[in-house]
Structures are given as structure tokens and as C-alpha cells.
A and B are shown apart, each in its own frame.
Chain A
Amino acid sequence: MHSFGYRANALLTFAVTLLALICAMSSLSDNLNSPSPSSHVKVLNINWFQKSTQGNDEVSMTMNISANLQSLFTWNTKQVFVFLAAEYETPQNSLNQVSLWDGIIPSKEHAKFWIHTTNKYRFTDQGSNLQGKEFNLTLHWHVMPKTGKMFADKIVMSGFSLPVEYR
């Protein structure tokens, strides 16, 4: 009854249960945080805008991205993945989301940032619908916890448009 094996088993079960409980509690504690992030994006220049040989419109642009995501960080946050996507509708597609830039924020100190960049990923349409197209730029973030549930949300910034002519 009180053998070594029995005690070791009881200790192991207790330790694992406790660890699972702590993990669950730290994940639940993330719900208490109500973040208030902010962001601002400015398109500085359309570097070029053309139709590729496959017939898809493609744009290169330079942007200023600034954001303050410090309020997303809690004690259970490992990192925040942040990306900027262009979102628009076309006659064929009810939704197009094209990621233009992304970054990994490792800590709260780095969560208030300002970056001047061209699009990191190709801004290519499925087809040729981008001339004069109005689009939204959406800043998405994905909170990766040390353990538990992942959170994601976004800020939609509207009122951007592409030129009518290729350049």
C-alpha cells in the first residue's frame, strides 16, 4: 500500500495536475486584460504599378507604419505577431486579403514602433482589377501565449486607393 512505487505515482499525478491547473489559470487570466492598441499607416509612394506577364496586377509601395501594441502584453504573453494586410473586393472575389508586411514583437518594450518600409510580400491581385481600386489596410495581431489560448484582433484603416494608370 505505502510502497515506493505507489508514492511516486501519487506524487507524479499530483504534480501534473497542479501544473495543468496553473497553465489553465494563467491562460484564463488573459481574459482580464482589455487592450487598447492604436495604429496609423500612411502610403508615401506608389513605386511602380503594372500588369505582370501572367496578367495579374502588381503594385510596389512605400509605407509608414506606426503602432502602439503595448497593452496587448500580459505576463502570459510570449510574443505578438503583427501584420499589415491590404483588403479589397473585386468582381470575382468577395474578399481579397494580401499580407504586405509582418513582424514579430518579442516584448512590451518593442511594442511601440515606427517603421518605414516597402511591401515585404508581393502585392499581387488575382486578375487585373487594381486600377483605381479602393482598399483597406488592416493591422492584424496574433497574441501567442506562453501557454493556453491564442488571441487575435485587428484595426481596419480605410480610405486608401490605387492610381488609375499603370506607372
Chain B
Amino acid sequence: MNFIKKINKYLVEHYPLIWNTRLVWMLGIALLLHVTFFIVGYNYVNTQEDIVAVTNLESFYYDTSVVFVAILLSIIILLVWIIYYLQNNAFKNLYTLKKDTLFTQFCVIFFIFFINTSQFYSFNAGLKLKIKNKFDWQEIDTDIKEFNKLSLFLLQTKSDYNIDNKKYPAPFPLEYSSVIYKHYKNHDISIDTTKSNFYHNNYYYQFYKLDKKRILEDSKKTNLVINKRNNFKYRTVFDVFKYKNLIDGSLLNYSKELYSYGQDSTDSKNRLKFYETLLNKKDEKEIEKTILPFFDLAKKYHVKHNLNKKDWLYLINTKNDYVLIERILNFKPGIEDKERFKSDYYRVVPKYDTVSLAKRKKKELFFLRNDPLTEDGKSAIVRRTEREYFSKIPYCDLGRLDIFFKNVHEAYNSNPSIKILYALIIITFIVSLLLFLFKLTNIKTLLLSFVSGSILLIIILLLIEYVSSYKQNYRNTSFLEICSFLLIGISITIASIISFIRRWKKLITAILFSLTLFIIPLLLVAMISLYEKYERSKYLYQDFHKNTFLIWFDAYGFWVVIGIWLLSIGLYTIPIRKWKGLPE
């Protein structure tokens, strides 16, 4: 307690603003709060199961009870602080103040609010540190690459093995159009019959590449919707007849990247090269070697499966050009599922029957003589095929492994969403400004400002409604909304200046000042929106391309608006100080 008293004594005798705002203690409390949340974040996850509980690291905070605890703690701390902060008011007591004291005071309020409401960042840092300590990214990256290689053989989704996914060899990837044979002679079809196409299983197919750049240019000029039925002139057609068997689905078509976290285009290229080389060998032994690591990886990452090499290799179908036989279920089948899928999973095996030739009719003997005979020549060995059903329906449930890799990758490589920071700053700014205005004026002024603001909003809405009804078919209401807001916003800002210069009633000046301080950032946003709308209007029938300024504003506009807002508060504190000195 003595220590606290000593510091307080020093502060009140030297730095009244710091003493009044309890900045030192609030910093201490915030530090404690942040350390606590860091520890909580650090202990929040321990296992892979914990990490996959939510889909991204931010959700560990915002989609759990942690956020409520944090908000409640912030509210309690800040309310207690406000009580102390409002106890002394040098401005209302008309003590001598330097010109920048009020602005500094606002900055301190903002800082205190921000550090006491930003526990998310400490929690997130603790969480990330724990994940980093527990899981090595290098190792996980290697495993992701391995999973991606293996994914070719996981046969999870049939559509992944369609020919439109094929990316190698050249000229693939290609787009294609197909038409049922009955319509081939029709006019309005998606195949350019004057160019190469082929027939396969009742359909005609045409494979091609599109000149998309030309399509874009032409569509801008003509405003014509270009689709598969009228894009013939943009097609470069390729004869891929020799790949026609792949149309029914094959491992040779597969190109999907199972897990993309931390993987770049080189990884993707290498993977496709690997597929091509491996599959072209048609060597089952080699494929077996490739799928073997799966069993270790499955164990390591708790992947549930019932795969066995024999059935799996059968489904890979090396001998038959990797034609897709059946998929491996991506979930563990229940009893009903087993009944439903049982008949789909089988292999066709040859069976040999010994058929006695004795007492056979001539016609029968004619057929049986084609089959090999037993050693004694009395019987024929007749070959037939039989379905041998899988003892188990194969499945491989990768579960939330995708989320696990995503969250670990996020822990290593990404920062929290900038939108969270933006939201936090805006909320903190608004609350700080409200408190600041309350400290400078009183609750009556604040409430009247709120009432005035609400009335202005109603006026804007009525104005829009009136103009819309007056000018029928006026569809561009957002333009009207912005213009109305700008008109009223600028009027209030100008009125606030005039009211101060012309010495209107102090209460009115205070209300106008309060409104203006909230309106200024909105004015800026409205002006930029209006400018963007104007730019957009130039591209009536074309895709809108933002100019350099708008692109720059997208990137840095938030900070510019906040900066100007802060600056305007700084500028307004000068007349506010003078306003306080004016007689009623």
C-alpha cells in the first residue's frame, strides 16, 4: 500500500493527467489481464483433438466462453476505472491547462480502453505459442506433402477423378462440351461439329481451350453473354480421342491438392509430376510402396480407417488403367450403410469347375472341348468368374485433419484478422469519445446530442423517402443516401464552427461539437463512397476496375479515416477549451 501511495503522491505532484487517468495502474491491470489471457490461451489446447475443436484460431476466443469472460472483465475494470477517472476534473474546475492537455487526455482514454479490451491478442499469442511448442511445422509440412501424394489413392470423392480435373500431360487441362448422340445433328448444341470431336458411350465430346481474354474484351464491347453454345470462335480444339476411356473416371485424371496449407505452386507441380511418373509405370509394387506411409500417418494423426493393402490395391486398379472402380468411403459406415454399400464392393475372381464329359450331348461336348481337360481326359476344366465381396466396406475418415493442419499453419504463419483490429479500434474510439465528451460537458449535452443525431437520421430517411417517391423509378437510393448524409453532415460541421464563432448558446455549440466529432469520419467514408460510385458509373456495361487511389484507399483507408478522426478531435479540443471559458 505504501508503494501505491508513494507512486500516487509522485504522480499527483508531477503528472496530474497521469494521476487523474490512473494510467499507471490501468497499465498494470492491463498487463496482468494480458498475462492471464496469455496463460489461458497457452493452456487452452493440448492435443490434436483440442486444436480441431473450432475451424480457426480466432474462434477459440470469439466462439467460446472466453470472449464473455473477457468482455465481463473489461466492463468491470473499465467501469471501476471510469468511477475513479471522473472523480477529478481539472477542465470543469477551470484549472490552468495547456492547449494540448485535452487532446492528450483523449489519447490516454483511448489507450486505456484499447489495452483493456484487447485481451484477444494475448490469448491468441498464448494459443499460438502452445501449438508451436507442441507441433513442429517442418514435420507437419512433410506430412501434408505425404498426404497430398497419397490423396490420389484415397478415392474419397468420385468427381475428383473426372476428366475435367486432368492437368497432365499437355494439352491438358482442357475444357469440354458433350452432347448426347441423338442431338448431335441439332444446331443449337455446345459442340462445334466442324472441328475435332469424338463419340464415347452415347455422347459426343469436344475438348478445347478458350481464349478468355478475347471473350472478356468482346463481352465488354457487345454486352453479349458468351456461353458454351456461342463460344466456338474462341475455342482451340484438341483431339484427345486416345484419352476417351478416362471420361468414365480414372486416377489418371486426379489433380486435387488435399491440403493446401503452406503448399505453393512448386509443390503442386512436383506432386503432379510425381503422379504422372508413378502412374505411367503401372507398377503395383511401386504404388504399394507409395501407399504404405499412409498407415503410419493415419496412426500419427488419429485417422480412422479400415483399409488393407489388398482391397485398396484392387480399388486402385493398376492393371486396368486405373479406371475408377468404387470410392473409399470417407466415413465409417454404420450397419445400414454396410447393407447399402455391400454389393458395390467386390472383386471379380475366376473359378474353375471340373465338368464330366460322360453322357453329354453332342452340342454340350462341342463347347466343353474348348476348355482344358483333366489329365485323365474325362472331364473338362471350365472357367467362370465370380464376385468376391469385400469382407469390410473400405473407409477412411480423415475427420477434421484439414482443420488441424489449417490451425497449425495459422499458428505459424498468419496474424489475427485485421478486421478484428479495425472493429476493436472503432468501438474503442467511439466509447472513448463518448467518455471524453461526458468529461468535458455533461450527461445532458450527451443525451441531447443523441436525440439530435436521431432526429437528423430521421430527416435523412424522410428526405430519401420523399425524393424516391417524387422521382419514380429512382433506383439509385444508395447514391441518394450518401448525398443526403453528406449534405446534412457538412451542414452540421459548418454550423459547429459558426456557432462557436458567432457565440451561439453554449449548449447548442456543445451539441454541434459532439455531433461533428462523430460525423467527421463518416463524412470521409461517404465522400470516398460517392467518388467510388462516380467511378463505377463510368463502367456501365463493363467490369469495374478500381483506380490506383481506390485500391490504395482499400488498403490504407481505415488508418487514414482514423488518423483524420484523431486529428479532428485534436483540432476541436482547441475551441472546446475556449468554449468552456465562454459565459452562458
A and B: partners? Answer: no
